[in-house]
Structure 1
Amino acid sequence: MAIPISQRIPNNEEEFYRQMMEAWARTIRVAIPGIIQSFDPVEQTVTVQPAIRERIQDPNTLEHSWVNLPLLVDVPVVLPRAGGFSITFPIQKGDECLVVFGDMCMDAWWANGGVQNQMETRRHDLSDGFAIVGVTSQPRRLSGWSTDALQIRTDDGATYISVKPGEIDLVASTVKVNGTVIG
């Protein structure tokens, strides 16, 4: 049954502005956790399923329902990288991430690098996200977190390199060294 328009119009100025701000806020995208569906190591992009459903309201009946946001495709991956060095990860389907949405259309920058003109006037759009890998929900949190060392480790903690002041600890079932070992 459709709700008469007279019942949908705010009855005072304060309510009008509250509804207007809520409607505006629903269209802004800032960040959302996601679950990686696939990884393209050549393009260094992922396809991500947003991990939070959105509640929508039918404008005619005012009934609410929960819907999945669409898959986000060709999302650039954010990794630690600077000064000619990079840390890469074997990104897998099912890994969690945080997708942060750009303030403006990133298409020209993504294709060409450098400083570019904005191609479209969209803002905070689902198509302008960057996936930060490593964000983790509580069921997937790491156990055995080192509080006194930098570690590069497997999730289960069985294999790791640990760096503390004056000490490097390497734990692995096999260690391969290609090159000259000095010392």
Structure 2
Amino acid sequence: MNYNSNENPSLENVLLMAIAEALRNTHTSLIAKVTKVNQKTINCIPVISRVVNDEKIDLPEFAEVPILNFLGGSSSIQMPISVGDYCILFVSERCFDGWYNGQDFEKPLEARIHDYSDSIAFVGLKNKDGELDIPTVITMLGDAYQKGDYVHEGDRDQTGDYTLTGDQTINGNLQVNGNITCTGTISAANFSGLGGGSLTSNVEIQSSIDVKSGSISLNDHTHTSNGIGNETSTSN
């Protein structure tokens, strides 16, 4: 939008100047950098300066800016935020102070329009020096905490240690390529024996039913004495 400035501006130029000034103060969205992470909000500072009368003016830090999370119902995905992260600030058309404090369907508490005070931050933007490649599959980087039920269909490969607190049910076969250490009780409804190795224990082994070695019963077998000091005969 161009207009000519002179000592006696025409009505058209006056209107053009007024429109240009109004547009310069109609804020919609801008890029900012996080300067502080609060418990539920962030502080940030816009990284693109304003130009007024050809003069560069840096904008101040915006404090206690609400952030946009991915959520719906009782479910949410919340990302950790660090100082130095970039974000996009969406500027609300009207003052949202009343809504932010829990008041729906009420008049704005102030008459301001497209004001920096009514910004909401969406963190995750990067410039060319830090932008990420677009992956071919959903990719998550960083530590994660999940609360709630988790259902997974499909194969799963994990590299690294795995610690489980709680009961576990496996509906299917289990193959372990390595050693198993157990500090509790092992119960088996149908134990078919050990393949390719021996069973060693430094604690008592108990069984409520007969134990056999080959065809020899531990309950029913007998030994014949060969005299004091001599070994007994082989079992019958």
State the alpha-carbon separation in 2 of the partners of residues 113 and 12 from structure 1. Answer: 43
CA contact (8 A) 1:79 1:133 kept: no
Q: Shift of residue 11 of structure 1?
A: 4.3
Higher strand share: 1
State the alpha-carbon separation in 1 of the partners of residues 125 and 87 from structure 2. Answer: 5
Of 36, 47, 52, the residue aligned with 1:51 is 47
Counterpart in 1 of 2:139?
Answer: 151
Q: Shift of residue 9 of structure 1?
A: 4.7
CA deviation vs aligned residue, 1:96-121 (integer Å, no higher than 9, x gap):
10000111111111112533331111
Determine which structure has greater relative contact order: mean sequence separation of CA pairs < 8 Å that are 6+ residues apart, divided by chain length: 1
Q: Shift of residue 94 of structure 1?
A: 0.3
CA deviation vs aligned residue, 1:36-89 (integer Å, no higher than 9, x gap):
001112xx11111001000112xxxxxx22111111111101010112111111
CA contact (8 A) 2:98 2:104 kept: no
State the alpha-carbon separation in 1 of the partners of residues 45 and 20 from structure 2. Answer: 25
Of 33, 36, 40, the residue aligned with 2:34 is 36
Residue pairs, 1:101-180, within 5 angstroms: 101-143=91-133, 145-147=134-136, 149-154=137-142, 167=154, 173-180=160-167
SS of structure 1 residue aligned to 2:64: strand
SS of structure 2 residue aligned to 1:108: helix
**Count of residue pairs brought into register by the alignment:** 159
Q: Shift of residue 12 of structure 1?
A: 6.3
Counterpart in 2 of 1:22?
Answer: 20
What amino acid sits opposite 2:9 in the alignment? P
Structure 1 residues 179, 101: CA separation in 2 closer, same or farther (over 3 Å shift)? farther
Structure 1 residues 114, 66: CA separation in 2 closer, same or farther (over 3 Å shift)? same
Counterpart in 1 of 2:81?
Answer: 91
Counterpart in 1 of 2:65?
Answer: 75
Cα-Cα RMSD:
2.6
Counterpart in 2 of 1:3?
Answer: none
Report the TM-score, using the length of structure 2 for normalisation: 0.59
State the alpha-carbon separation in 1 of the partners of residues 157 and 104 from structure 2. Answer: 40
State the alpha-carbon separation in 1 of the partners of residues 120 and 159 from structure 2. Answer: 33
Structure 1 residues 20, 166: CA separation in 2 closer, same or farther (over 3 Å shift)? same
Computing the radius of gyration from Cα coordinates, the structure with the larger value is 2
State the alpha-carbon separation in 1 of the partners of residues 111 and 30 from structure 2. Answer: 22
Q: Shift of residue 19 of structure 1?
A: 2.3
State the alpha-carbon separation in 2 of the partners of residues 172 and 96 from structure 1. Answer: 32
Which blocks of at least 5 consecutive residues in structure 1 are unaligned? 1-5, 58-63
Higher helix share: 1
